[in-house]
Amino acid sequence: MDITEIIAHQHAEQRRMFAMLEEWPRTDHEGLAALWRRLEILLETHAEAEEKYFYPELLKLGTGGADAESVDEEVEDAIKDHNEIRKAIRKVRRCRAGSAAWWTGITDANVYNSNHMGEEERQDLADFRQQATLELRHEIAVAFIRYESTKAATGIAPKDKDPEGYVTSRGRAPSSGLAKRAATRKAGPVRRAASKKASAEAASSD
């Protein structure tokens, strides 16, 4: 498993489920409510899992992908996007399924989520693929899927995060076990290369 592939796959599922809502019979309010409930759970468990397992490691290893100014900027943007999606989810919850206000909330969620997924795929996922080892990407994927699976039946309440506070609290120092192992693996080849260079210089001076 690879966390970047897991996230991309779930993005495709989210797009598919929004398309299903658009095609669903507008008079079947019970069906619309049930379909949205499935999608709502996927959206929030996906966002929370990213914030627990993916973004902290991205902050420690990333450099800023594509058009992002920095890794801090791309993660702050992602948290802001999640908050916008959560705002739309709360709006939908307050409305009767199938009503005009309900559809407005669904549309808002779709717009915010679509913009977020495009930016995340272009910046965050590309950045992480370039910086993280395959082993680390697998380890994060396992933790990510495990968390989502424990929450899949009932979902979780959408709770906003402070974007700047989120980035600041996680910092750049590798504090988690995953990040420590990643830093060690990443530093290994550099140390070996430096050792070879030193040996070559010592030999040439003899």
Is the pLDDT confidence value at 126 over 90?
Answer: yes
Whether the CB-CB separation of 39 and 178 falls below 8 Å is answered with no
Residue pLDDT, tens place only, 162-200: 898 999 988 654 434 454 444 444 444 333 333 333 444
Q: Rounded to an integer, what distance in angstroms lies between the CA atom of residue 171 and that of residue 173?
A: 6
pLDDT in tens, 52-75: 999 999 999 988 878 888 898 899
Between 155 and 82, where is the model more confident? 82
Model confidence pLDDT, tens digit, residues 13-54: 999 999 999 999 999 999 999 999 999 999 999 999 999 999
Find how far residue 170's CA is from the centre of its chain. 15
For the CA atoms of 79, 41, 142, 144, the dihedral, rounded to the nearest 10 degrees, stands at 20
- 201 class by beta-carbon count within 10 Å (0-12 exposed, 13-18 middle, 19+ buried): exposed
For the chain, give the mean pLDDT: 85
